[in-house]
Amino acid sequence: MAETLERAHAAENEAVQPNRPDMAFPSAIPPEELDRLTDDIVAALKTVYDPEIPADIYELGLIYKVEIDDDRFATIDMTLTAPACPVAGEMPGWVETAVSAVNGLSGARVNMVFDPPWDQSRMSDEARVALDMW
């Protein structure tokens, strides 16, 4: 069973990432590896872009939750900017492929969720700059 843990750097990341998704990991993972996995998962998520928006899905705030079970399998809850997004059928596969490539994970699965609905307040400052939405 997976349990949610706060990263040691949470306050530090809050300034940069105010809408950071819940990151859940089993308590059996050593803290150093937890930090590395967390950083690597976030880096993988930042490689996935909606082709119509020049900001990655992580900075857009589309990732709501990441959970890793005892078998090191990642489950990701994510949403879309709009339910009728033209790449809605493909984007979960892109995310699964990117996160599955993280060293130390056995795989990944994406759950599409629409509650709560996405809105612009979930975007990071980096996404706001990229989209000129100040």
pLDDT band at residue 25 under the 50/70/90 scheme: very low
Cis peptide bond prior to 116, omega within 30° of 0: yes
Strands 63-68 and 22-25, how do they pair?
parallel
pLDDT of 117: 93
pLDDT of 14: 41
CB 117 within 8 A of CB 79: yes
Count of structural domains, the chain: 1
Strand partners, 67: 24, 75
* Nearest residue to 20 via CA among 132, 125, 134, 130: 125
Provide mean pLDDT across the span 12-28. 49
pLDDT of 101: 97
Mean pLDDT for the chain?
81
pLDDT of 30: 79
CB 94 within 8 A of CB 112: no
Q: Which domain holds residue 23?
A: 3-130
**CATH no. for residue 35?**
3.30.300.130
Helix (H, G, I), strand (E, B) or coil at 49: strand
Rounded percentage of the chain residues whose pLDDT exceeds 70: 79
pLDDT band at residue 8 under the 50/70/90 scheme: very low
Helix (H, G, I), strand (E, B) or coil at 34: helix
pLDDT tens for each residue of 72-121: 889 999 999 988 888 889 999 999 999 999 999 999 999 999 999 999 99
Rounded percentage of the chain residues whose pLDDT exceeds 90: 51
